[in-house]
């Protein structure tokens, strides 16, 4: 593997053990990135994760998040992954974390080398299936030697390696993406020891690799679930050449709701069967093929259901908008008021 270099970008990784952090001091001390502990096992959430994510990003550091796994089989990987992704969603969504998300694999609860390797492979596979992104593995030399079989070399490695010697190739890995080189670092703005890391290239190379606009952020128009677009064409009078939006433009949403949330005649019965509006905190995805909207976790969701045949899905959603910014938004608020006041007898 490659050696450390004084030209490499510097970073840290932290958890609740570091307590309150002055992120501006960290940034001013020359650190470019931070990995933040998010979760552990199927239920634990690091109680400083959301605060650290907000503070680090506000100070200008690139952030990543990691999960400490205790999974022993594929089913437990699935449960832990859902817990991890939901927690990340609550702190801005996948797109807000510019650096890769990582799974910390360093316990032998999975049993044999064969089974622990299979668990690591499940993490990589399931994360890719759920998010479309590549997971990074955090581990250390002795664990690779005793618990992994050398088939993970194509997965990005966050390597905990504390020797001053150049690290040897190990477990199929011939390079590392990030290197954690000590757990006894001292950084302005942090009380006590902290893990220190470096990226495989310079700060400019780090920014070039990871600090890119998220394709799903507000203002872009990636395709969301095709069935939702087709439903609007078939049932809402939307033109067949209409370009799908995710999130939906607030004016578009207002027009759709105005059509289907009528207050008279049979229209209200069509509403209950065909189209519904859900408001609240959701994971920042509106369909299997959509991309994350990273602005905030609060959305309106337009959902559709096809009568009795069981077909249903999410048409689209709106997140983090100024409710008084457009006539469409005002229309949405009016419709919501009508829905609430009439929901008792619809």
If one compares 202 and 314, the residue with the highest pLDDT of the two is 202
Kindly report the CA angle at 146 between 145 and 148, in degrees rounded to 5?
A: 75
Give the pTM. 0.64
**In the beta sheet, which residues pair with residue 67?**
39, 103
Q: For the chain, give every domain's residue range.
A: 10-210, 226-342
pLDDT surpassing 60 at residue 148: yes
241 counts as catalytic: no
Query: Which H or E element spans position 18?
Result: none
Q: Within a 13 Å sphere around the CA of 161, how many CA atoms are in the beta-carbon half?
A: 23
Average pLDDT over the chain reads 75
pLDDT surpassing 60 at residue 126: yes
CA dist., res. 151 & res. 22, Å (int): 40
SS3 of 291, please?
coil
106 counts as catalytic: yes
pLDDT at 107: 87
Give the pLDDT confidence of 21-40 residue by residue, as tens digits: 999 999 999 999 999 999 99
State the Cα torsion 329-333-336-342 to the nearest 10°.
Answer: -140
Which CATH topology does 10-210 take?
TIM Barrel (3.20.20)
Q: Can you say how many angstroms the Cα of residue 302 is from the centroid of all Cα atoms in its chain?
A: 22
Q: Contact, 14 vs 192, CB < 8 A? A: no
If one compares 345 and 152, the residue with the highest pLDDT of the two is 152
If one compares 78 and 318, the residue with the highest pLDDT of the two is 78
SS3 of 66, please?
strand
Query: Which H or E element spans position 272?
Result: helix 267-274
Give the pLDDT confidence of 165-177 residue by residue, as tens digits: 999 999 999 999 9
Q: What are phi and psi of 239, to 5 degrees?
A: -60, 145
Which of these is catalytic: 80, 82, 89, 106? 106
Q: Contact, 317 vs 277, CB < 8 A? A: no
Nearest CA to 300 out of 284, 277, 323, 321 is that of 277
Q: Enter the DSSP assignment of 241.
A: T
């Amino acid at each position: 593997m490659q050696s450390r270099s004084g030209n490499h970008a510097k970073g840290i990784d932290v958890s609740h053990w570091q307590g309150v952090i002055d992120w501006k001091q960290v940034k001013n001390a020359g650190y470019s990135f931070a990995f933040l502990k998010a979760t552990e096992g199927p239920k634990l959430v690091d109680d400083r994760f959301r605060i650290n994510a907000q503070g680090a990003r506000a100070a200008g550091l690139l952030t990543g998040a990691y999960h400490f796994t205790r999974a022993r089989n594929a089913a437990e990987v699935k449960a832990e992954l859902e817990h991890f992704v939901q927690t990340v969603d609550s702190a801005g969504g996948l797109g807000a974390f510019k650096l890769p998300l990582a799974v910390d694999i360093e316990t032998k609860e999975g049993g044999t080398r064969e089974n622990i390797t299979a668990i690591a492979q499940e993490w990589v596979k399931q994360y890719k299936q759920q998010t479309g992104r590549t997971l990074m593995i955090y581990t250390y030399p002795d664990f690779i030697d005793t618990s992994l079989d050398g088939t993970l070399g194509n997965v990005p490695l966050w390597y905990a390696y504390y020797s001053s010697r150049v690290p040897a190739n190990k477990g199929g890995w011939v390079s590392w993406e990030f290197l954690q080189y000590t757990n006894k670092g001292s950084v302005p703005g942090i009380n006590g020891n902290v893990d220190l890391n470096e990226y495989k290239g310079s700060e400019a190379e780090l920014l070039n690799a990871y600090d890119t606009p998220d394709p799903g952020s507000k203002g872009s128009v990636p395709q969301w679930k095709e069935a939702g677009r087709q439903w609007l064409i078939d049932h809402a009078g939307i033109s067949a050449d209409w370009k799908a939006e995710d999130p939906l433009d607030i004016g578009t949403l207002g027009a759709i709701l105005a059509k289907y949330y009528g207050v008279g005649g049979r229209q209200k019965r069509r509403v209950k069967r065909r189209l519904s509006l859900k408001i609240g905190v959701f994971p920042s995805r509106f369909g299997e093929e959509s991309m994350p909207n990273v602005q905030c976790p609060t959305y309106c969701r337009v959902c559709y259901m096809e009568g009795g045949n069981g077909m249903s899905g999410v048409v689209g959603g709106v997140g983090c908008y100024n409710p008084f910014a457009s006539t469409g938004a005002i229309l949405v608020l009016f419709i919501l008021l009508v829905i609430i006041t009439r929901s008792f007898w619809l």
